[in-house]
Amino acid sequence: MKKIFSYLLLAMALPFMAACETDTDSNPILTEPESFQLNTPPYAQNNVIDLQNASIVELTCTQPAYGFPAPTTYTVQVTLDEQFVEATEGTEANYVSLPSTYRSATLNVDAYELNEALVGLWEAVHPSADLPNTMAVLVRLKANITESDRGVCYSNPITLPQVHVYKPVQTLKLPESMFIVGAVNGDVWSTWFPFAKVTDTPGMFYAVIHCDANANFKIGPEANDWEQARTYDQLTFTPEAVSEAGACAGSDSGNSAVTKAGWYTFVVTTKIVGKEVKYTVDIRPAEIYLIGATLGGLWDFDDQGKCTLSADELEWITPAATAAGEARLSVKVPEASWWQSEFTLCDGVITHRENDKILNNWETDKGSNYSVKLTPGQKIRLNFAAGTGVVE
């Protein structure tokens, strides 16, 4: 009986095994094409492409021969030179990739983006020259299989011989302030904590913030303005923000979040790109420093001046002063010098330098109430959540 049952199972399995073999044999095989066809627009040869009065420039192509119909993403690349040159060590590429991508073989290329790229290429080579009335533009497409790094190939280049570009009047402005609200600094979505400006760096802001694990938050340019607060999809987090803090999408309402608890320095950098202001958020473990005369003239970020957390992790404590003098304090911000993120205490309140001109010292340039004097052995305790500090 057992043998009969085994034979029956084998007989039943054979058709399925054959079917599996048939399916495997018929699976499509990806071909990696070397190139594909980008068509020269018929209107391009005898007409001026006026980017100032156009909303789109239509391009068409044939899909790369991948061996099967694959969803394809196209990126438009342009140069003002006679050929495309890739970047090498110490040399930049001579072309620009437009920010928008396309998933159809008919591309309605954003005229504003194209104009911005061409103006940038021209001004990089001719910084003081006026824009010509028209210019010849070399265009190609980069293709890849959508949401994949496979199937990367480039089209033939085409020339648009007469393209009219213009210098747009900039109506967008970088924000003058920045705030964070959420489950941060022991708060529950009731306080909009301000960022400080990075000195002499318009559009760049920093703040020292405590986050619990999985803390949700929003960042925006105005306090109490939920309409302008950026959702997770409207922010670009740096790789360091992801690796150091676990930056990710929050639990709801377009929030952002960090998965790892700790004290962090949030840095928001804003930049005008095309028709919008882009926000990039960097998050690093907070580093606070005592600098200057009270450490014997140590005028840089140094381990000797690095602050430590109190036992309850609520306050930052400076090293003891080794000499008498005015304390200079700074939050370490990537790519910034110490004086660009300097702060002091004014009547016990943490006060950031921002764009104040402190050429000599706080006492001389701002007043005695901005000057924190230390004697050897004294320390400063800083509570960034409350925005206060005290000498002990």
| Domains delineated in the chain | 35-164 (2.60.40.10), 179-285 (2.60.40.3620), 288-391 (2.60.40.3610)
Question: Is the pLDDT higher at 263 or at 7?
Answer: 263
Per-residue pLDDT, 276: 87
Contact in structure between 196 and 189 (CB atoms under 8 Å): no
Helix (H) or strand (E) holding 249: strand 247-249
User: Mean pLDDT score of the chain, rounded to an integer?
Assistant: 92
Q: Average pLDDT in the 147-172 region?
A: 92
Q: What is the largest CA-CA distance in the chain?
A: 103
Contact in structure between 197 and 205 (CB atoms under 8 Å): yes
Per-residue pLDDT, 274: 76
Question: Is the pLDDT higher at 224 or at 11?
Answer: 224
Phi-psi label, residue 388: left if phi above 0, alpha if psi -120 to 50, beta otherwise:
beta
CA 245 – CA 283 distance, rounded (Å): 7
The two three-digit tokens of residue 215, written as one number: 């803390």
Per-residue pLDDT, 26: 61
pLDDT in tens, 175-184: 999 999 999 9
Per-residue pLDDT, 21: 41
Which range (13-22, 30-39, 47-56, 211-220) has the least confidence?
13-22
Q: What's the pTM?
A: 0.69
pLDDT in tens, 215-236: 999 999 999 999 999 999 999 9
pLDDT in tens, 282-327: 999 999 999 999 999 999 999 999 999 999 999 999 999 999 999 9
Per-residue pLDDT, 323: 97
pLDDT in tens, 264-277: 999 999 998 877 89
CA 176 – CA 27 distance, rounded (Å): 56
> Which residues sit opposite 32 in a β-bridge?
none
Q: Where are the alpha helices (DSSP H) in the chain?
A: 2-26, 111-125, 239-245, 362-365
Give percent of the chain above pLDDT 70: 93
Per-residue pLDDT, 22: 44
Per-residue pLDDT, 111: 95
Q: Average pLDDT in the 86-110 region?
A: 94
SS3 106: strand
Comparing CA positions, the residue from 153, 159, 132 lying closest to residue 78 is: 159
